[in-house]
Amino acid sequence: MIYTAIVFLPLIGALIAGLFGRVIGERPSEIVTTALLMISALLSWVVFVQVGFGHETHRVQVLRWITSGELDTSWSLRIDTLTSVMLVVVTTVSSLVHLYSIGYMHEDDSRPRFFAYLSLFTFAMLMLVTSDNLLQMFFGWEGVGLASYLLIGFWYKKPEANAAAIKAFVVNRVGDFGFALGIFALFFVFKSINLDAVFAAAPTAVGKTFSFAGYDVDIVTTIALLLFMGAMGKSAQFLLHTWLPDAMEGPTPVSALIHAATMVTAGVFMVARLSPIFELAPNALVVVTFIGTLTAFFAATVGLVQNDIKRVIAYSTCSQLGYMFVACGIGAYGVAIFHLFTHAFFKALLFLGAGSVIHAMHHEQDMRNMGGLRTKIPLTFWAMTIGTLALTGVGIPHMIGFAGFHSKDAIIEAAYAAHTPNNYAFWTLVVAALMTSFYSWRLVFMTFFGETRADHHTYDHAHESPPTMLIPLGVLSIGAIAAGFVFKDYFIGNHEAEFWATSLFRNESNHILHAMHGIPAWVGFAPFIAMLTGFLIAWVYYIKAPWLPAATAKAFRPLYLFLLNKWHIDELYDWLFVRPAFAIGRFFWKGGDGAVIDGTIDGTAASVAAVTGRVIKLQTGYMYHYAFVMLIGVAALLTWLTYNAGLLGSVVR
């Protein structure tokens, strides 16, 4: 009963606010949805203690779903350690986002619709993480895609919001196509999409091939790559990342929910959940590692020059997801989930903190128009500072630190222990850590320090956020400080094997966690040095010598513009896909619809209508007109008969 309550309470809230929001009013809609999420979060922590630390696996069948031939699947909830971790992450962050939204959205007239979308989003994610088969996982997968479309485009009167929502929807469909093909392939090979059945049968397919597009390809590797294609789209990995920064057009609480706990972490969760398949496909894991490494580096470089406070944090999310996939690619699934867990707290804290800044600055998001705010909004300043300390990995090497120090540094250490070619994964992640530190402290310095660059009216009226917005910041700050050292021993430490025994799988040849304990001491100090270096460079650029950023941008203008334009990937896609699509559309519009349909079919119909129109004009309604026409017809008929009779007689003679 407790498991079904966790999953379906958000759905109940979404239905109440969505269907009856106009009847019960805005405030009751906020209270009902937030209260139900709070209950769901409390129950999730109970399950986390009972199941996560109890190392149990429970299954609850909700209903029979599809039975057709060999396909037999039920709607079931799978509750194990991995699920319990995700339940805590999703419901905790979502409930805090609901509470925060009460203050942030208080001026919006469509609050019932907004809270209905938030709760629907949460329900879809809960369906995804509790799935016991791939069809149910795909249902939740598409559910968060739909809800994200609704939330990103919530302010549908803004063209930018509509464009961003459509972009997120379309780009994710590309990844979802691969995910769907992977599910089809699993059923084709193993005659089942139930997780336990697939996991049990997967070893029998190792080394076997099947024909795909005219080629004989390795079964397990192909399936793993198709599944990972879905993860690339949902978790915004390189080439399928373009929707993520544009998602900032939605309200700030949406950004926190999408980028911290729900949609973007779905891909990492899926790879970890399907670890029994990925472990049997080492070549696929190489691809996962490479894409994750490239994404971490790419997003960090772009984050260096962004000026929108939310976009800086968005690219940080993209980069951190790359870290998580590197961990999955080298077989350190527990380390990846550990970083997912800690990342949810400090990234939600940063986004909600950014929302508090935007709220104080009357919806200003450009950091170039901020500065000097630490005395105006001190609580928000300290919350964002804590989030930055956690994100950049501040701590004492080999001892204690903020949340990101334990989880992100563990990924970097695992990357070294994996010994990728030339240790490219390790060195790239260290460089990305340096850039992460730079742009994170750049955000803090530009927003809170120095002389204000805002207009006097905006700055003078800047004020701290209401309690409904500050309470979530306080709770998330505790998580950003303590989530790392409190749970490290269970996620990746001495109790790791027992903690993940029933939910994550590693081959006998996978000794990555053991290898992490044998790394040189300097490896543990490398991310610390990178973090400190990034901080010092940011301090020099934005505190000590604030003229340096403009001078550097001028001196390296081609590189600066390259990064500012996000490696020109959007422009490349516009040239490769968008313009050809529009050209094809115009061809069928002008040539097909205009020339063929309008010119031929519609033209013929128009000609017939013109002729019949003239005939219709003869219908006057006067009897003597009709009698006159009939007499003319009779005369014409008699003339024809007389002529033909005379002609026939001459022929006979």
Helix (H, G, I), strand (E, B) or coil at 151: helix
> Comparing 623 with 474, which gets the higher pLDDT?
474
Q: What is the pLDDT of residues 360-405, one digit of tens each?
A: 998 889 999 999 999 999 999 999 999 999 999 999 887 899 999 9
- The pLDDT of residue 53 is 80
Q: What is the pLDDT of residues 412-430, one digit of tens each?
A: 999 999 999 999 999 999 9
- Which pLDDT band holds residue 511 (cuts at 50, 70, 90)? confident
- The pLDDT of residue 495 is 85
Residues 216-221, mean pLDDT to the nearest whole number:
92
Q: What is the pLDDT of residues 590-602, one digit of tens each?
A: 777 767 776 676 5
Q: Which residue matches tokens 């559309």? A: 585
- The pLDDT of residue 638 is 83
Question: What's CA 436's distance to the chain center, in Å?
Answer: 21
Q: Is the pLDDT of residue 614 over 60?
A: no
Residues 305-310, mean pLDDT to the nearest whole number:
93
Q: Residue 619 region, left (φ>0) first, then alpha (ψ -120 to 50), else beta?
A: beta
- Which pLDDT band holds residue 289 (cuts at 50, 70, 90)? very high
Tell me the pLDDT of the chain averaged across its residues. Answer: 90
Question: Is residue 168 a contact partner of residue 243, using CB atoms and an 8 Å limit?
Answer: yes
Q: Is the pLDDT of residue 525 over 60?
A: yes
What residues have CB less than 8 Å from 190, skipping those under 6 apart?
197, 198, 201, 202, 205
Q: How far apart are CA 471 and CA 326, in angstroms?
A: 34
Sign of the dihedral defined by the CA atoms of residues 614, 616, 620, 626, in that order: positive
Task: Quote the tokens at residue 271.
Answer: 């790879």
- Which pLDDT band holds residue 609 (cuts at 50, 70, 90)? low
- The pLDDT of residue 456 is 86
Q: How far apart are CA 231 and CA 480, in angstroms?
A: 26
Q: Is the pLDDT of residue 195 over 60?
A: yes
- The pLDDT of residue 63 is 87
Q: How far apart are CA 447 and CA 312, in angstroms?
A: 12
Task: Quote the tokens at residue 461.
Answer: 């009226």
Task: Quote the tokens at residue 301.
Answer: 């470089």
- The pLDDT of residue 224 is 96
- Which pLDDT band holds residue 325 (cuts at 50, 70, 90)? very high
Question: What's CA 385's distance to the chain center, in Å?
Answer: 25
Residues 79-102, mean pLDDT to the nearest whole number:
94
- Which pLDDT band holds residue 248 (cuts at 50, 70, 90)? confident
Question: Is residue 310 a contact partner of residue 354, using CB atoms and an 8 Å limit?
Answer: yes
Question: What's CA 211's distance to the chain center, in Å?
Answer: 33
Q: What is the pLDDT of residues 21-57, one digit of tens each?
A: 999 999 999 999 999 999 999 999 999 998 878 777 8
Start-to-end CA distance of the chain, whole Å, equals 109
> Comparing 642 with 477, which gets the higher pLDDT?
477
Q: Is the pLDDT of residue 256 over 60?
A: yes
Q: How far apart are CA 477 and CA 474, in angstroms?
A: 5
Residues 47-70, mean pLDDT to the nearest whole number:
86
Q: How far apart are CA 323 and CA 320, in angstroms?
A: 5
Task: Quote the tokens at residue 141.
Answer: 């997968």
Q: Is the pLDDT of residue 212 over 80?
A: no
- The pLDDT of residue 293 is 97
DSSP-assigned states of every residue in 196-254: HHHHHHGGGGTT-EEEETTEEEEHHHHHHHHHHHHHHHHTT-TTS-THHHHGGGS-HHH
> Comparing 628 with 122, which gets the higher pLDDT?
122
Q: Is the pLDDT of residue 10 over 80?
A: yes
Question: Is residue 417 a contact partner of residue 512, using CB atoms and an 8 Å limit?
Answer: yes
- Which pLDDT band holds residue 261 (cuts at 50, 70, 90)? low
- The pLDDT of residue 496 is 85
H-helix or E-strand spanning residue 73 = strand 71-79
Listed range (244-248, 300-304, 408-412) with the worst mean pLDDT: 244-248
Q: Is the pLDDT of residue 534 over 80?
A: yes
Nearest CA-CA partner of 152 in 295, 337, 310, 374: 310
Residues 310-318, mean pLDDT to the nearest whole number:
93
> Comparing 381 with 254, which gets the higher pLDDT?
381
Residues 347-353, mean pLDDT to the nearest whole number:
94
- The pLDDT of residue 488 is 93
The residue length of the chain stands at 653
Residues 182-190, mean pLDDT to the nearest whole number:
94
